Amino acid sequence: MAASKNYGPKRLVVGAHYGVMDFLAQRLTAIIMAVYTLVLFIGVLVMPGFTYESWKALFTFHVYALPLGQLLVTLAFLSLAYHAWIGVRDIWMDYVRAVGVRLLLQVLTILWLVGSVVYFAQIIWRL
Protein backbone atom coordinates (compact mmCIF):
# COMPACT_ATOMS: atom_id res chain seq x y z
CA MET A 1 0.00 0.00 0.00
CA ALA A 2 1.38 3.38 -0.97
CA ALA A 3 1.96 5.65 2.00
CA SER A 4 -0.02 8.46 0.34
CA LYS A 5 -3.16 6.25 0.25
CA ASN A 6 -2.88 5.25 3.91
CA TYR A 7 -6.23 6.53 5.18
CA GLY A 8 -9.84 5.38 5.49
CA PRO A 9 -11.22 2.20 7.06
CA LYS A 10 -8.59 -0.03 5.45
CA ARG A 11 -5.58 2.06 6.44
CA LEU A 12 -2.53 0.25 7.72
CA VAL A 13 -2.56 0.58 11.50
CA VAL A 14 0.46 -0.29 13.58
CA GLY A 15 1.02 -0.55 17.31
CA ALA A 16 -0.30 -2.66 20.13
CA HIS A 17 -3.77 -0.98 20.20
CA TYR A 18 -3.57 -0.27 23.93
CA GLY A 19 -5.34 3.03 23.26
CA VAL A 20 -8.31 1.41 21.51
CA MET A 21 -8.49 -1.28 24.16
CA ASP A 22 -8.56 1.27 26.97
CA PHE A 23 -11.10 3.40 25.09
CA LEU A 24 -13.40 0.39 24.76
CA ALA A 25 -12.75 -0.83 28.32
CA GLN A 26 -13.58 2.59 29.75
CA ARG A 27 -16.92 2.56 27.94
CA LEU A 28 -17.78 -1.09 28.67
CA THR A 29 -17.03 -0.66 32.38
CA ALA A 30 -19.16 2.52 32.33
CA ILE A 31 -22.12 0.57 30.89
CA ILE A 32 -21.68 -2.21 33.48
CA MET A 33 -21.68 0.35 36.32
CA ALA A 34 -24.64 2.27 34.90
CA VAL A 35 -26.70 -0.93 34.62
CA TYR A 36 -25.72 -2.00 38.15
CA THR A 37 -26.59 1.46 39.47
CA LEU A 38 -30.09 1.15 38.05
CA VAL A 39 -30.46 -2.44 39.36
CA LEU A 40 -29.40 -1.33 42.85
CA PHE A 41 -31.64 1.74 42.72
CA ILE A 42 -34.67 -0.35 41.71
CA GLY A 43 -33.72 -2.80 44.47
CA VAL A 44 -33.81 0.02 47.03
CA LEU A 45 -37.14 1.28 45.65
CA VAL A 46 -38.86 -2.12 45.92
CA MET A 47 -37.42 -2.87 49.38
CA PRO A 48 -40.22 -3.31 51.92
CA GLY A 49 -38.48 -0.78 54.18
CA PHE A 50 -35.00 0.65 54.61
CA THR A 51 -33.92 -1.81 57.30
CA TYR A 52 -30.58 -3.50 57.91
CA GLU A 53 -31.91 -6.88 56.75
CA SER A 54 -33.34 -5.68 53.44
CA TRP A 55 -30.30 -3.45 52.72
CA LYS A 56 -27.93 -6.37 53.39
CA ALA A 57 -30.05 -8.69 51.24
CA LEU A 58 -29.38 -6.49 48.19
CA PHE A 59 -25.75 -7.60 48.37
CA THR A 60 -26.12 -11.12 49.78
CA PHE A 61 -29.09 -12.64 47.96
CA HIS A 62 -28.52 -16.08 46.45
CA VAL A 63 -30.04 -17.80 43.46
CA TYR A 64 -29.93 -21.44 44.56
CA ALA A 65 -26.33 -21.83 45.74
CA LEU A 66 -25.02 -18.94 43.63
CA PRO A 67 -24.14 -15.80 45.67
CA LEU A 68 -25.51 -13.54 42.92
CA GLY A 69 -25.76 -10.38 45.03
CA GLN A 70 -22.09 -10.56 46.00
CA LEU A 71 -21.00 -11.47 42.47
CA LEU A 72 -22.88 -8.57 40.86
CA VAL A 73 -21.56 -5.92 43.24
CA THR A 74 -18.05 -7.33 42.88
CA LEU A 75 -18.21 -7.20 39.08
CA ALA A 76 -19.48 -3.62 39.30
CA PHE A 77 -16.69 -2.65 41.70
CA LEU A 78 -13.98 -4.26 39.55
CA SER A 79 -15.41 -2.29 36.62
CA LEU A 80 -15.20 0.84 38.77
CA ALA A 81 -11.54 0.18 39.62
CA TYR A 82 -10.56 -0.37 35.99
CA HIS A 83 -12.62 2.63 34.82
CA ALA A 84 -11.06 4.85 37.48
CA TRP A 85 -7.56 3.66 36.57
CA ILE A 86 -8.03 4.67 32.92
CA GLY A 87 -9.59 8.01 33.86
CA VAL A 88 -7.08 9.01 36.54
CA ARG A 89 -4.16 7.87 34.39
CA ASP A 90 -5.51 10.14 31.63
CA ILE A 91 -5.51 13.06 34.09
CA TRP A 92 -1.84 12.45 34.99
CA MET A 93 -0.90 12.08 31.32
CA ASP A 94 -2.66 15.35 30.47
CA TYR A 95 -1.34 17.57 33.26
CA VAL A 96 1.88 16.06 34.64
CA ARG A 97 4.72 16.33 32.18
CA ALA A 98 7.66 15.34 34.40
CA VAL A 99 8.04 11.62 33.69
CA GLY A 100 9.25 10.65 37.16
CA VAL A 101 6.43 12.47 38.96
CA ARG A 102 3.89 11.03 36.53
CA LEU A 103 5.18 7.49 37.13
CA LEU A 104 5.02 8.01 40.90
CA LEU A 105 1.43 9.30 40.67
CA GLN A 106 0.45 6.36 38.47
CA VAL A 107 1.94 3.89 40.92
CA LEU A 108 0.11 5.61 43.81
CA THR A 109 -3.11 5.46 41.78
CA ILE A 110 -2.71 1.70 41.28
CA LEU A 111 -1.98 1.19 44.99
CA TRP A 112 -5.01 3.33 45.91
CA LEU A 113 -7.30 1.30 43.64
CA VAL A 114 -5.91 -2.16 44.48
CA GLY A 115 -6.20 -1.25 48.16
CA SER A 116 -9.80 -0.20 47.54
CA VAL A 117 -10.58 -3.51 45.83
CA VAL A 118 -9.16 -5.49 48.77
CA TYR A 119 -11.05 -3.29 51.25
CA PHE A 120 -14.24 -3.79 49.23
CA ALA A 121 -13.75 -7.57 49.00
CA GLN A 122 -13.24 -7.73 52.76
CA ILE A 123 -16.55 -5.85 53.29
CA ILE A 124 -18.65 -7.86 50.84
CA TRP A 125 -17.25 -11.38 51.06
CA ARG A 126 -17.30 -11.76 54.82
CA LEU A 127 -21.08 -11.22 54.90
Interface ranges with another protein (CB under 8 A)? 27, 30-31, 34, 37, 52, 55-56, 59, 80, 84, 87-88, 91, 112-113, 115-116, 119-120, 122-124, 127
**Torsion angle, CA of 34/17/109/96, rounded to 10 degrees?**
-120
Q: Toward another protein, which CB reaches closer, 44 or 103?
A: 44
CB of 88 to another protein, least distance (A): 5
CB of 100 to another protein, least distance (A): 21
| DSSP line for 90-117 | HHHHHH---HHHHHHHHHHHHHHHHHHH
CB of 102 to another protein, least distance (A): 15
Distance CA 68, CA 93 (A): 37
